[in-house]
Amino acid sequence: MWWRNNFQILFGLVLIGVTFVRSFELYKNYKIYNVYAQDEHQLRSLYELSKANRKYDFLNVARRPEDISKVLIPPYLNVELREALERLQLNFTLLHNDISEVILKERQENLRNTPPEYPLNAFERYYRHDEINTHLEVLAQLYPTRVYVKTFGWSYERRPLKVITITNGDKRHDKKVIFVDAAMHAREWITPAMTLHIMSELLENYENNKELLEEYDWVILPVVNADGYEYSHEVSRYWRKTRRPNNVGVGEEECYGTDPNRNFDHHWGWEEGASPDPCDETYHGDKAFSEPETQVVRDILRTYRGRMMWYLTLHSYGNYFLLPWGHTNELPDNYFDMMDVADAAAMAIVRATGSSYTYGNTYQVMYPTSGDSADYAVGEVKIPIAICIEMPAGGFLGFDPPVRQIEQILEETWIGVRAMAEVVIEKY
């Protein structure tokens, strides 16, 4: 059997090498800029610039003068972008002249920790979708009275979207539910890692967290956008959307994918907060729930309607706790209950690590969104608490924390998640 195992390892390394070359070549000579806005007028100009040209990949757009915007640019648009920024009198610095070098370093770090051992250690590296699914099945074998795994649906490319339910083993079927999902956006690799860490805290570290399971079951979907997540590993490291092709007409540009977090049926398709352009990073799809992946999240939310008290969706990056609504600066009826939950997390984290978080209405503290999952959960399914955590940044682009930073980011985020859970449990 040793030769078979060695062959599998060798074959896996060859595949990783091939996919690295594709991603490395794709981003050759791509540049990353930091852009600085000095006042509200410049912030608005920067936001409008980010929407005016979809080939400028704004990884984040500042909402406050003290924040930094990042933009990833192909080499042929370098001069054009610089001229646009100068015309708007926006200060900028070149952060990296060739982002493919960053991808090379990231791949080398991930290769050092191959192949995986089960159950997975969330701190060791970024795992692929099939490895994460195998991890769920291993946990079900290790904790047969406490863990249940179910395939809730399939991605467009027919990858199984598996969901794990973690209980305390009391076999009650009427308990309240906390639902966590991650990797709505493909390039946010740190978010599935966070779900693995949550599983570890609830299972391996059960004695220190058992009160979180006395009246609640935890339902976790580690990778929503499985096709995009795999594509970001195999081809395009900074891919964001799903992978269902958009038929935009004969002779038109072939564009793939929908932003899943603009595809939910709550104020879907609004002009501000999403794009009708199939090639745009925030394309809302040709209809609400056009994507099989968002249908799965919808079905989970509906399945636990009445029992689900908290929906937590993990994103990256920026040290934000984002609350409904995204489409307006008006507030939901129980907004201040949600603020209590976010405030507890922010206070717990600053006491433990010194890190500060901004929290509040998404529209006000970050940017407008329409058709996002948290708004749908509160507005349509009537879940009391829905929060999006934008996890801490890492690496050059914010989405790419090196392996050595994974543990620190996950442990900090867990402090916040645990504090949130305690308040939700107390309130509901």
Q: Find out whether 148 and 137 touch, Cβ atoms under 8 Å.
A: no
Closest CA to 189 of 258, 130, 120, 237: 237
SS3 of residue 358 by DSSP? strand
Is 422 labeled as catalytic in the residue annotation? Answer: no
Residues ≥6 apart with Cβ < 8 Å to 414: 194, 197, 198, 201
Which of 117, 390, 407, 412 is an active site residue? Answer: 390
Beta bridge partners of 312: 180, 387
Report how far residue 31's alpha carbon sits from residue 97's, in angstroms, rounded to the nearest whole number: 5
SS (H, E, C) 236-249: CCCCCCCCCEECCC
CA distances from 414 to 46, 390, 400, 417 (A): 33, 13, 19, 5
Residue 378 main-chain phi, psi, to 5 deg? -80, -45
Q: Find out whether 322 and 197 touch, Cβ atoms under 8 Å.
A: no
Active site residues: 390
